[in-house]
Amino acid sequence: MAQTCLILLFGVFGIGEGPEVGHLCRAPRESIIMTADTTQRTLEELRHLMAHAGNRRTGTGIPRLAMVKGRVPEHELAAVYQPMINLILQGSKTMSVGDRTLRYDPATYFVMSVDLPAIGTICAAEDGAPYLAVALTLEPARIASLLADIPPIRPSARQEGFSVAAVTPDLLDAWARLLRLMARPEDIPALAPVYEREILYRVLSGPMGSMMRDIATPDTMLHRIHQVIQWLRTNYMEPVTIEALAGRAAMSVSAFHRHFKTVTSLSPLQFQKQLRLLQARTLLLTGAGTATAVGFSVGYESTTQFSREYARLFGLPPSRDAARVLAEIRNTPTQS
């Protein structure tokens, strides 16, 4: 798996043919191999640093930083994900949001710039090594504090709310510096903000820099969509109209609908529906009430519609799905 990932990572510098590139491609061959070796050592160090992660979200003692290892329960992968940078160190992950699905592995990193309802699927590495990943939760204020200190960021042609890019040696090095602090907790208050800032800088300097910048810049399209998403997260159970949401974003109805779908891969009403259904599942798993009562509590007015839409998303009607998930939880040991 590691060899495959390095081919993916450094293939962009591949050895070309023809006189116009021959000289450029011959010269860096040794440095590419050396960089690949260095990157592999960094990946191995990161895996070692995170060896004690569990199969639930595991704190690191470093603010906003969490890790996970092994087989994550399926129901925990269907959730509303917060803005984050997600780095896979072993195995791979698939994230599906609306009609868009992205796969990423140790050759890439994933950025989600707004809160999104998504369904994840994880896989172990080809050699059987367990899935291993680390995530840094994004705070717009921390991104904004960097913008004055970096070169202008080129606007992106598309303005999605989530994407994948190739990882770089500099970005991996910054992750390693941050994770080494787990062994030196007394250094975390002074140094963690510095290394977090470097990670943010590396991402802002990469292909997803425009997306990262826009969530921290007032009055950009992405920032206005982000504000509407925050309102929907709090008020998901309330009846809403596209016109009212467009007014909150200070956009025309057609522009708002188009931009919202570009950012989230969902229409505004589909987004609200998934928030309701994910919350309903959480309530059912915690025994908060019957399927009928839960459906009404998250905003449904029809039990039949609630059951139908729930089954469409999760594969089974509410009560049967909850029973299945609870049985899986009882039969799945917690890793530590």
The per-residue pLDDT for range 273-291, each reduced to its tens digit, is 999 999 999 999 999 999 9
Domain range list for the chain: 58-215, 221-331
pLDDT, average across residues 62-73: 95
36 band by pLDDT with thresholds 50, 70 and 90: confident
The whole-angstrom separation of Cα 172 and Cα 33 is 17
Residue 2 has pLDDT above 60, yes or no: no
CATH 2.60.120.280 correct for 58-215: yes
Question: What local confidence, expressed as pLDDT, does residue 105 receive?
Answer: 93
Band (14; pLDDT cuts 50, 70, 90): very low
Distance CA(162)–CA(115), nearest Å, equals: 10
Q: Does residue 128 come out as left (phi exceeding 0), alpha (psi in the -120 to 50 range) or beta?
A: left
Q: What are phi and psi of 72, to 5 degrees?
A: -85, 135
CATH node for 221-331: 1.10.10.60
Check pLDDT > 60 for residue 4. Answer: no
Assign residue 125 a region (left: φ > 0; alpha: ψ between -120 and 50; beta: otherwise): beta
Per-residue exposure over 157-169, b if at least 16 CB sit within 10 Å of its own CB, e if not? eebbbbbbbbbbe
Average pLDDT over the chain reads: 88
pLDDT at 230 over 60: yes
Whether 245 contacts 272, CB under 8 Å: no
Q: Which of residues 34 and 52 earns the better pLDDT score?
A: 52
Instruction: Name the pLDDT band for 59 (thresholds 50, 70, 90).
Output: very high
Q: Mean of the pLDDT values across residues 309-334? A: 90
Q: What is the pTM of this model?
A: 0.85
Look at residue 120 in the predicted model and tell me its pLDDT. 94
The whole-angstrom separation of Cα 127 and Cα 133 is 17
